[in-house]
Structure 1
């Protein structure tokens, strides 16, 4: 159980890691990193509520559904500094190179974006925007729950990537700070909370939401394992990739049917 100072610092670290909010940085170590990664789904829920509010407001003002959805996706990138999209691109380039170990890590670390990275970003944004646009035909409560759940589930994927037993690929950087810092209790609590809210995302089929969340997280876990086999561990880029992949899959699963 973290002490009071670690908890407060962990909250600050979670907010500064997953949003652009100008929160003053506090203590940063592996104890606070564990708190921050455990709280990632909660930060995602708050971010999702803001995005859902933007989408519903734009719809209420008469904006076409696709325009409102595109603005919502753009706002999400702005509020996270585009870091998760950058991680998705770098991870896609590293995996797409078919190289392993340090060679793949070098590709992921380069500032330029290759064809795999560009394709990954474009496809993720397109699918997310299309899924959000489909929410215009649903009750506002379901639309709100869907955006909150998808955004929160993405951050839950980062929590799972930081579970105990998962190593860091490098001795420094964000991956080294957060790898292996999350225990089983935060994993269970976070997953149960996101799955519970997901029941409200699909009217008349409360079972669909929790199943979608579990399946999306399962894909994220498999992706993390694959990356660990290829490069030896996780990095900040891998966390970003997991967030975007899981968010996209959750959106798709929740708008089906």
Structure 2
């Protein structure tokens, strides 16, 4: 577990830390499962931004953009790079090898740039609506944490790697189905509990808010599953870029669900 945590921090954040002593498939699988915990610094930042906006000390739009700057810096923008590379690869044609070669180059083309603009714009719009009160902030944080279920979803048993090198080759098939289900359930329960507590604090029905939070978490996970399935169908497996893209698409999916449900309740 300590080695898995060190690997998770080193893989998903730019925070300094000790290198793992042993890196094997069990360590790699554990790192993928622990990815949601690496969002703690971003969660704290989003909470502060929500407090500032609800007190009228920061405009909602500014807070929304700042909320996206922090995870980009914390992840060295690798997830966004994965989104751009996957978009370029999937739009380069139907040939698997050509798509993988385009993704390997790492040069952002028109499709990649368009994907970045649309996804980040969608994220910012959703966060501007969610950071208006505590309940919305909780749902936004839920989408953030649940988006980091994507690495484990992409590394589930039975999912092959698309190429013989890179992060995808190392982590593909390292996460057991039961472990993945357990982590998804844990994130949903934790999100529901936090949302219910925040709802009780302001006199709102706790069961409705708790159910909404769980729905947001599942929506984010579904975005990751959809990304993985499409990548496996087109590329034959997963790569590091696929994992990064799955994180970003999961976040956008979760934020859209959060903003829609927040407006409805």
Q: Settle same-fold status: TM greater than 0.5.
A: yes
Partner of 1:9: 3
Contact 1:47 / 1:148 at 8 angstroms: preserved in 2?
A: no
Q: Distance in 1 between matches of 2:223 and 2:247?
A: 11
| 1:132 is aligned to 2:127 | yes
Q: Distance in 1 between matches of 2:50 and 2:131?
A: 8
User: SS at the partner of 1:137?
Assistant: coil
Question: What RMSD in Å do the two structures reach over aligned CA positions?
Answer: 1.9
Partner of 2:202: none
Partner of 1:226: 230
Q: Distance in 2 between matches of 1:101 and 1:118?
A: 21
Partner of 1:82: 77
Shift of 1:137: 2.6
Q: Distance in 2 between matches of 1:72 and 1:86?
A: 18
| 1:252 is aligned to 2:256 | yes
Shift of 1:123: 1.1
Shift of 1:150: 1.3
Contact 1:52 / 1:143 at 8 angstroms: preserved in 2?
A: no
| 1:113 is aligned to 2:108 | yes
Q: Distance in 1 between matches of 2:224 and 2:88?
A: 17
Q: Distance in 2 between matches of 1:47 and 1:149?
A: 14
Q: Which has the larger displacement, 22-31 or 164-173?
A: 22-31
Render the CA deviation track for 1:111-150: whole Å, top value 9, x for unaligned: 2101111111111111111111112332x2x244223211
| 1:123 is aligned to 2:118 | yes
| 1:213 is aligned to 2:217 | yes
> For residues 141-160 of structure 1, what are the structure 2 equivalents within 5 Å?
142-160=135-153
Partner of 2:189: 196
| TM-score where L is the length of structure 1 | 0.90
> For residues 53-92 of structure 1, what are the structure 2 equivalents within 5 Å?
53-59=47-53, 60=55, 62-92=57-87
- For structure 1, the residue ranges without an aligned partner over 5 or more in a row are 1-6
Partner of 2:163: 170
> For residues 174-189 of structure 1, what are the structure 2 equivalents within 5 Å?
174-189=167-182
Q: Distance in 1 between matches of 2:67 and 2:247?
A: 17
Structure 1 stretches (4+) deviating beyond 6 angstroms?
A: none
Shift of 1:72: 1.2
Shift of 1:57: 4.9
Contact 2:227 / 2:242 at 8 angstroms: preserved in 1?
A: no
Contact 1:175 / 1:234 at 8 angstroms: preserved in 2?
A: yes
Q: Distance in 2 between matches of 1:161 and 1:122?
A: 24
Contact 1:48 / 1:147 at 8 angstroms: preserved in 2?
A: no
Q: Which has the larger displacement, 50-59 or 13-22?
A: 50-59
Partner of 1:3: none
| 1:52 is aligned to 2:56 | no
Render the CA deviation track for 1:38-86: whole Å, top value 9, x for unaligned: 1112223x14422313423542471111001111111110111000000
